[in-house]
Chain A
Amino acid sequence: MADLPVAPGPLAVGLSAALQRAGLPVTADRAARLARALRLVPPVDRDSLYWTARVTLVPTRAQLPLFDAVFSAVFDGRLDPADSRGDDAAPPAVGSEPRTRPVPPDRRRSDPATSAPDDGPRAGSPGAGDADGAERETVLAVASAQERLGTTAFAELEPGELAEVRDLVRRLVLATPQRLSRRSRPGQGRRIDVRRTVAAAQRRGGDVERLVFAERRPRARRLVLLCDVSGSMQPYSRVFLTLLQGAVADASAEAFVFATGVTRLTRQLAGRDVDAALARAAAVCTGWSGGTRLAASIEEFLAVFGRRGMARGAVVVVLSDGWATDPPEEVAAAMARLRRLAHRIVWVNPRAAAPGFAPRVGGMAAALPFCDAFVSGHSLAALQEVVAAVRAG
């Protein structure tokens, strides 16, 4: 590729089209940006073109492997870029979203300034203020459900009943306990709110008659859910995924699933369309069976997300039966690390309700000392305990 006998425009469009065919979402304005960049940086060799294209076209690290594959296919002439759909050789990066569906219309807004974030419906979701009302509604909904639905373990439900349960699970609003934020509001605090004091004085002709105090506004703590989707959790995963979806949509939670590794599901579960969200999530967590690498998964979660701030001061809910394949001391070490970051750890173990259950299994026994609450969550009635455990503290 000594020289490119191509004008910037066609080159940009051609490369963008190749990426688009391979499943990388390249918008028209990005292609235009690449064309502008190529005017500034003439593509004298492969490397300079590579970096110019990568910096302008790829918005996130997760898409880099695919971009590299397509780029090398186009410019090293190894294969037709249309065949590099979903480069399987590259390990799926955390958070990567294989785009196999058409872009939903709400992403095609022409005016980004007015477009709402599409990571979960913030507007209209019950805030912390009316959580009590929402909770009452939930209790009523559960009370009106059939008795059988309330207490039968999810593992024994019929498909139709499962749908009904899912509907109820979605309405369990997980509201985390509050912490003080940096922002303030007028109230009974100890700090003087100078701005409001001066404003009040101005209205009275410049005399400070009344000191307005500021108090720190409470904010809900972050909620992080880690759901075990290994083989032994099969009967519960579908319902728990629904719980995850509800938490992401209504409580802006972060959701992860794990078996032998950790996958972040927040983006897949976000959005108003529950079934589409669950379908996207199910596509990610199917075909996993065998044991859970509990310690390794928690470690990976901490290394990639938790220590950067996601787990700090958060309420972390682990949904797992604790049947770990890693040694108990490793589970304990990982849990200890999580303990030092999180505000509360709630462990939901659907097998805890079985008669004669005692958390004697290696992994569970090792993890238990680090949990603030241990609930079963194996049935709808038990899910109430989960909500209560999250709310506490």
Chain B
Amino acid sequence: MPPSDPGSGAGTGERDDDVAQLLPDIAALAAGLDAVDYLTDLGLATALFLAVRLRQPLLLEGEPGVGKTAAAQALARLLQTPLFRLQCYEGIDAAEALYEWDHPRQLLAVRLAEARHAEVAEADLYGPQYLLRRPLLAAIAHPGPRPAVLLLDEIDRADAEFEAFTFQALAEAAVSIPELGTVRATHPPVVVLTSNRTRDLHDALTRRCLYHWIDHPAPERVAEIVRRRVPGSDEPLVHDATAAIGRLRALDLVKPPGIAEAIDWVTALSLLGVRRLDPAAVAATWGAVLKNRDDLDVAADRGAAWLAGAGRG
């Protein structure tokens, strides 16, 4: 066993016997995710398996709507542990990721103590009960027995300072709070990061992460996912809709419809009682699939009949 680099967190697969028993190999993980209705292929299953067992952060990239966020959610369901999600945005700061003090409550406590003529020491005011745990701290402080899942969504939107700081906290699997001391992870969280590549991430970050690029799946797999996610949807309708989505993706669109749109669309069609996709149904539900004016124009030029698969052999 080579010495693990300090960035790989305090825990390795060996310490979490429970997790190792639950997920002895990739097949077990794929089957487990399948049971919570998340379909993986070998590549994604390998990536997730290594993220859990090597306990290294996993960076997922891919087009919007291929299921990056859903992967982390499914992983949490499989492990039956809480999922802490941090949605990053430009200007996010450490307080929103780690912790904040509940100032109004502290103020109230001071007032109450005064009313009762009781002494209130500063140490009382900075106790755990006044601490608002934000996702990063909550994931690190999670008591176990299984590790929590921490999802850092769209990490590329946060600025470089935040990225560096976050990674420091994750690498040490510890957060120090001046008033309370240091919170160390007994079970370092499973960390999943997603990125839309609006900027290049730091080498320091990519160096420590496992990496997986999720491709848009083949129509058959999309159909299978939609069947799982839209209970009660008709088999022929799912088939028609995913084939239509495949046709749309072949066009030059600003925002090609992803899996999320396929699910939305079939849900909408089922709600309207549509059994087979026909031009009228397409024309009534454009908005569930195409969410950009220019794309609507492009698709409308081809016509609803083309999209519905008229003239199919």
**Of A51, A64, A95, which is in contact with the most chain B CB atoms at under 10 Å from its CB?**
A51
Q: Are B200 and A267 in contact (CB under 8 A)?
A: yes
Residues of A contacting B202 in the complex (Cβ-Cβ under 8 angstroms): 117, 119
Q: Tell me the A41-98 residues at the B interface (CB within 8 Å).
A: 41, 47-48, 51-52, 54-56, 58-61, 64, 95
Bitwise interface map of A from 26 to 47 toward B, beta carbon under 8 Å scored 1, else 0: 0101101101110011000001
Q: Are A206 and B61 in contact (CB under 8 A)?
A: no
Residues of A contacting B213 in the complex (Cβ-Cβ under 8 angstroms): 61, 64
CA distance A56 to B58 in the complex (A): 10
Interface residues on B, range: 35 or more
Choose one: A60, A112, A208, A267; the contact of B211 (CB below 8 Å): A60
Q: A55-B210, A60-B211 are in contact. Are A307 and B254 (CB under 8 A)?
A: yes
Which stretch, B100-108, B220-228, B231-239, B280-288, touches the partner chain A?
Answer: B100-108
CA distance A303 to B295 in the complex (A): 13
Which stretch, A194-202, A255-263, A353-361, touches the partner chain B?
Answer: A194-202
Q: Are A58 and B50 in contact (CB under 8 A)?
A: no
Q: Are B49 and A308 in contact (CB under 8 A)?
A: no
Residues of A contacting B47 in the complex (Cβ-Cβ under 8 angstroms): 51, 55
Residues of A contacting B111 in the complex (Cβ-Cβ under 8 angstroms): 206
Give min CB distance, A41 to chain B, whole Å. 6
Residues of B contacting A152 in the complex (Cβ-Cβ under 8 angstroms): none
Interface status of B266 (Cβ within 8 A of chain A) = no
Number of A interface residues in the complex (CB < 8 A): 55
Give min CB distance, B157 to chain A, whole Å. 6
Residues of B contacting A6 in the complex (Cβ-Cβ under 8 angstroms): none
A-B contact pairs, 6 of them (CB 8 A): A33-B210, A36-B54, A47-B42, A60-B211, A201-B110, A305-B198
Interface status of A113 (Cβ within 8 A of chain B) = yes
Residues of B contacting A27 in the complex (Cβ-Cβ under 8 angstroms): 207
Residues of B contacting A267 in the complex (Cβ-Cβ under 8 angstroms): 200
Which stretch, B77-85, B86-94, B134-142, B243-251, touches the partner chain A?
Answer: B86-94
Interface status of A101 (Cβ within 8 A of chain B) = no
Q: A40-B53, A182-B89 are in contact. Are A117 and B164 (CB under 8 A)?
A: yes
Residues of B contacting A285 in the complex (Cβ-Cβ under 8 angstroms): none
